[in-house]
Chain A
Amino acid sequence: MAEFPEELHYQESHEWARVEEDGSVTVGISDHAQDELGDVVFVELPELDSEVVGKQEAGVVESVKAASDIYSPVSGTVIAINDKLEDTPEIVNDSPYDDGWFFKISPTDLDELASLLSAADYKKSCEDDAH
């Protein structure tokens, strides 16, 4: 059974966003997504200090059977990337919401979060996809 933590924001393209105490936004992919992908073999992350734009491609997550684009939930500057993913990409499968985070953004406009989905809505969109 996939998990959908309540406090996160989601996109239909299966990324989650968490607003941290310091106002930065952490991004990763959902439990449902890692399950669909299968064993993650590689993650291509955006470069540190690069600009990302909301709803546009910021990276790629690759498994044996698929390579999916990662769409940034919000616009801003990339202030941190999870370099553990280089040697142990499998932590995305084991811990998609914690240790398997992808990158952190310093957002330009937190209002962009309003267009993201709640846990309930995202869960529903996953169920709709299945049919």
Chain B
Amino acid sequence: MAPHSSSNAYWKANLRVIGISLAIWFIASFVLGIILRPALSGIMVGGADLGFWMAQNGSIYIFIILIFVYAKVMNTLDRHHGVEE
């Protein structure tokens, strides 16, 4: 196993990345698509209001970007902490 201190720092960094990513995940879907839809009804995306569009299309695009960015950040982090395969 890797030295304990290094893997601890790696794990903490990983948790921070996950925390930020999941905050974006939550905002894109639950906050913009469901909770704040009435408040955002004035903002239009083409013929749809922002909340509606986020719920039916927009959040999905953000999910995809989020996973690839996460994968990239984690690959860098793996190398930085010397825990890559």
Chains A and B bind each other? no
B residues at A contact (CB < 8 Å) = none
A residues at B contact (CB < 8 Å) = none
